[in-house]
Amino acid sequence: MLTQYTSYDDIRAALGVAPEEITDDVLGLTSYEQILTFDLYDITPAIGSYYLALPGSGLTADQERFQDLMQVYAAYVIAQHLLTSLPMFGPQSIRDAKTEIQRISDPYKATREGVIAFYGLMRARLLAAYLVLVPAAPISSAAVFNPMAAIPLGTDPVTGA
């Protein structure tokens, strides 16, 4: 269950939305827990089970740091996933008899950039905290494809032609 890792309110806070915009029923869908599980497995296969096996009390300082980082990281994994649909559930205008809320044309640009950047930072911190606790943990690294192309020079540097 996703709430073993983070709270629904923390996910909404990362996106800056209200419970009416993303309900607990939506965040309780199995797919969000699976997304978190896949992401954690990509870091290292045992990190999720290590977190769930931590005792409720009597943690060392390193274990507490790891636990805190996991809770924040889990919120940002789901928040990052929700960025694609953020404009769909964020209202452009809310109006009642006394108040009105309108948002600018792309109110989530800064949110999108902030969530993505903080996700990367928290991933690195979580991995570092885990390696302090389990130094021999196998680390997964995603293959990165960097295309390279040869571009001919406009002039021959030797002859100048």
What digits encode the pLDDT tens for the residues 65-91?
A: 999 999 999 999 999 999 888 766 655
Q: What pLDDT was estimated at residue 109?
A: 76
Q: What is the value of pTM for the model shown?
A: 0.73
Of 48, 67, 49, give the one whose Cα is nearest residue 57. Answer: 67
The low-confidence residues of the chain, meaning pLDDT below 70, are 87-97, 100-107, 140-153, 157
Domains in the chain: boundaries: 2-133
Tell me the per-residue pLDDT of 137-155, one tens digit each, with 9 for 90 and over.
887 665 555 566 556 667 7
Q: What pLDDT was estimated at residue 137?
A: 86
